[in-house]
A and B are shown apart, each in its own frame.
Chain A
Amino acid sequence: KQEVTQIPAALSVPEGENLVLNCSFTDSAIYNLQWFRQDPGKGLTSLLLIQSSQREQTSGRLNASLDKSSGRSTLYIAASQPGDSATYLCAVRSGNTGKLIFGQGTTLQVKP
């Protein structure tokens, strides 16, 4: 059974700092992996999607990497801003169905 873990559960950094969020999964036979952002009281917004054959994806200040063999993904946020404060969740899709398995999320606070 696939399990997804995110560490740390919470993170607080000063504005401008570069940071890394971690995601690990137990079954390396994944179809793809996604990173989502969730603002308080809101739904989830997809940030990046990495196919199993890819090593990384970039969007603006965000870079997500994937190492299937070790069951790990990282989300790198460059030059963090207070607007980046949110909960970040990673989700793994293990087959060609739409079923996603989510981690518990990392709550990020960027202080001005």
Chain B
Amino acid sequence: DAGVIQSPRHEVTEMGQEVTLRCKPISGHNSLFWYRQTMMRGLELLIYFNNNVPIDDSGMPEDRFSAKMPNASFSTLKIQPSEPRDSAVYFCASTLRAGGPRDTQYFGPGTRLTVL
């Protein structure tokens, strides 16, 4: 298996622009997570899905952030409009079933976002 795939790996954009990050989870995994990592705040959960349904979006910072999972093999995280403080590494992770006793999340390589 190719693991969790994220694109793009690097994104540089200007303040006010729309940014879309993409994730393909491991085939057969039913849960998908979006995280953000910064030096100041560390790794934070933004939102996660079970069977394509958003379960917990309490970590989504503002209405500027939105996430979708139209099917089991694809998810997007969109920021509109982007701001410099959104600069971070965004990770996607997937697992067979969130909350299972031996639930282990498999992480993608991340997207490094820079908003100028």
Contact = CB atoms under 8 A, between A and B. Distances in A.
A100 B45 contact: yes
B108 A43 contact: yes
Chain B's interface: helix, strand, loop or mixed, by majority? strand
Contacts of A99: 45, 48, 56
Interface residues of B, number: 26
Nearest to A42: B109
Contacts of A70: none
11 contacts: A41-B109, A43-B4, A43-B109, A46-B105, A96-B99, A98-B31, A98-B48, A98-B95, A99-B45, A101-B45, A102-B42
Interface of B: 4, 31, 33, 42-45, 48, 50, 55-56, 91, 93, 95, 98-99, 101-110
